[in-house]
Chains A and B, each alone.
Chain A
């Protein structure tokens, strides 16, 4: 076996409700779907459909104003029922009522031997799958005009309640390999597949061809693609790398081999408020209420999140699955007062530090809620963020450079190597309750605007 990259720093939050390893088939027919342009951060969406239009699975719903060739396709066939706008006419959701049986827009299949940069790019663009390739720096959809240094795929997820991605590739090995073969044509460098030494068991990942397999070991965030890039081949100023989620690699593989945009994927359902956690085989953009029906311990005080509890978005019990999400987490809201929090022994309060007596219980899992657990303060503690960021980066100094909008310092301290999700744990443990992911996002935006 090759070299294992061991990451000592990190934190696995002991949250209750990890998804059970059962795979559930749909019990009712799922009809409500939506695409959310806001999931594609960095894209300026323009509608390609209007209310009442009929779409096929694979026909474009919206495109990028700055590059009209980049489109996002409908995952299902059916009728566009409603277009929901937010503040300042931001397109929030394009809702689709799906047909009983999905009809696909058909493309001619391409054999892996025949992959070229040209036909792979063209097919991904015309099938509306291109924006699922994202780039670093800046954490935005990839630009089809560029050729990246390398392409990264992280084949394990270490986030709280995260799905086991071995489940996703089970039975789809052929498509995953085809997707990797296609991505191989898009770069002069390598395609890297990051696997976990103990958690990843699937041969599709471990013995992936046409790619270099990198073995990691460690707690969260070792599954974050940004952390893996940093340890395999860090991004320098001026370089671009791309990354794709393994489930999207599988969907791409299907497009090439079968000639259809079949957005079926495995989504995990977890969290302390769910009665039956587990995995579901669904199509992207599903309304989550199908999964939650008769499956919640309480209805009044909960938060339904598309994604994990560190980086996901609140969608509500009637919301839709995000484009890049493979997990629905349901946790209780924390809008209650806690008496004398600074003095309580805290036998049931989870903390990464040992300031509460909960550290006595080594293996307990906690029903964490959304309470901020304190008020916002100036940064006082130091040396804490370093414990959960396994990168050769000074987190506090970088955060402060972002706050000060000091581009020169941000560059010097490694802004090109990070994304907000890499700082999610820093935000989680921060005793000053600063919104660090937001700070990093704003810093990245500023650099993108000024440096390009």
Chain B
């Protein structure tokens, strides 16, 4: 029945229809409801069932545990700061009232801009923002005013993505760019040393304790792992992040290379920092606190903005981990280093790829030299 309706209104959006100017929008909604009936014309006659929508939705599925826990934790932090205890559902409901509006604002603003650009360019609407828009509320503190979320999203989508040509062409991770925008434009809100936990109450995060050297005040490892601590919405529960990582790795969407090497790089750097006395926190505390793990699993692995070669991914991930810890440990101004580390390495990812690909190119050139003048190689 729905299909009949779509078929009936479809001609209006066709080449000569009077609603042709909305054809990208129609296409987006139609393909949201149905995988198109388009068949292969040339090349392979069969194609894999995986498409971009499915790819993106897998990432959203992987984010869901963090999202749901984040909602609950927002409520939990609120009531525990006020010294009250509530049941599960009221707590969850309170979290919803804080987090869902952020999600809605991020999607409406971001997708609105995406639709307009697709329309103007005559493209189909790309699915990339489904993930970016879901990530934005998860990496913001729960008290950010909604208008700021809107402005940051618009900045990220227009300046971060569309000016480069849209999804697949951007240099920096759009969601992180939104956070960076808030971080630098409204530093008083996002300074990172204390976050909102309830109206008119703010509490220090684990990281600000670490930065100020008050390691006794850092929550226990189990608290850090399960996530009942203040922090950005999605980053607190490492358990939920690991569930998400498992989904990404098992489905084949996320890059094991980046996740593993980021943890290795950060672990190494934190261990060095701890051994040399530059930081009082242990390696485990560093790995489990703040947004490091969330960034390593969901943001550093963004296939567009990270290194694109397999060898480059090992290097990229490792340097992200190292940089995050370097910023945390050696720069007293920023307790959290993951956002800047990823954005910095995004910038250098093309350079890493260039070096990796160049090795392949010079291997090929050397082979050519050996083939054309074998004696020269033997002599040299």
Contact = CB atoms under 8 A, between A and B. Distances in A.
A413 interface: yes
Contacts of B101: none
B303 interface: yes
Contacts of B3: 337
Interface in A407-452: 412-414, 420, 424, 427-433, 435-438
Contact of B51 (A13, A341, A413): A341
A396 B308 contact: yes
Nearest to B166: A378
A373 B167 contact: no
B360 A393 contact: yes
Given A237-B368, A371-B35, A375-B36, A351 B49 contact: yes
B250 interface: yes
A314 B40 CA distance: 10
Contact of B364 (A354, A412, A436): A412
A48 interface: no
B356 to A, nearest CB: 8
A338 B34 CA distance: 5
A378 B50 contact: no
A10 interface: no
A7 interface: no
A303 B313 CA distance: 41
B124 A375 contact: yes
B18 interface: no
B45 A373 contact: no
Given A355-B251, A356-B49, A309 B55 contact: no
A380 B49 contact: no
A392 B361 contact: no
Contact of B39 (A338, A372, A374, A412): A372
A239 interface: yes
B163 interface: no
B185 interface: no
A380 B360 contact: no
A383 interface: yes
Contacts of B371: 236, 239
A337 B35 contact: yes
Contact of A381 (B42, B165, B303): B303
Contacts of B44: 309-311, 424, 427-428, 437
A85 interface: no
Contact of A355 (B31, B37, B55): B55
B57 interface: yes
Interface in B1-48: 3, 27, 31-40, 42-48
Q: Which of A349, A377, A412 has the most CB of B within 10 A?
A: A377
Interface string B212-236: 0000000000000000000000000
A236 B39 contact: no
Interface residues on A, range: 35 or more
B50 A353 contact: yes
B35 A412 contact: no
B86 interface: no
Nearest to A336: B37
A361 interface: no
Nearest to A393: B360
A98 to B, nearest CB: 29
Nearest to A358: B49
A335 B57 contact: no
Interface string A356-379: 101000000000111111111111
A413 B282 CA distance: 45
A396 B123 CA distance: 22
Nearest to A11: B48
Interface in B170-225: none
A41 interface: no
B54 A372 contact: no
Contacts of A349: 49
B255 interface: yes
A259 interface: no
A241 to B, nearest CB: 12
A371 B51 contact: no
B51 A374 contact: yes
A371 B45 contact: no
Contact of A378 (B39, B45, B168, B313): B168
A312 interface: yes
A411 B379 CA distance: 27
A386 interface: yes
Interface in B323-372: 353, 357, 360-361, 363-365, 367-368, 371-372
Contacts of B48: 350-353, 373, 428-431
B373 to A, nearest CB: 12
A429 B35 CA distance: 17
Sorted from nearest, which 5 A-B pairs have the closest CB atoms?
Answer: A374-B51, A378-B168, A341-B35, A342-B53, A338-B35
5 contacts: A355-B251, A372-B39, A380-B52, A380-B167, A430-B48
Interface of B: 3, 27, 31-40, 42-58, 124, 126-128, 165-169, 250-253, 255, 257, 303-304, 306, 308-310, 313, 353, 357, 360-361, 363-365, 367-368, 371-372
Given A377-B127, A382-B306, 7 more contacts: A303-B45, A312-B45, A337-B3, A370-B45, A373-B47, A386-B310, A428-B47
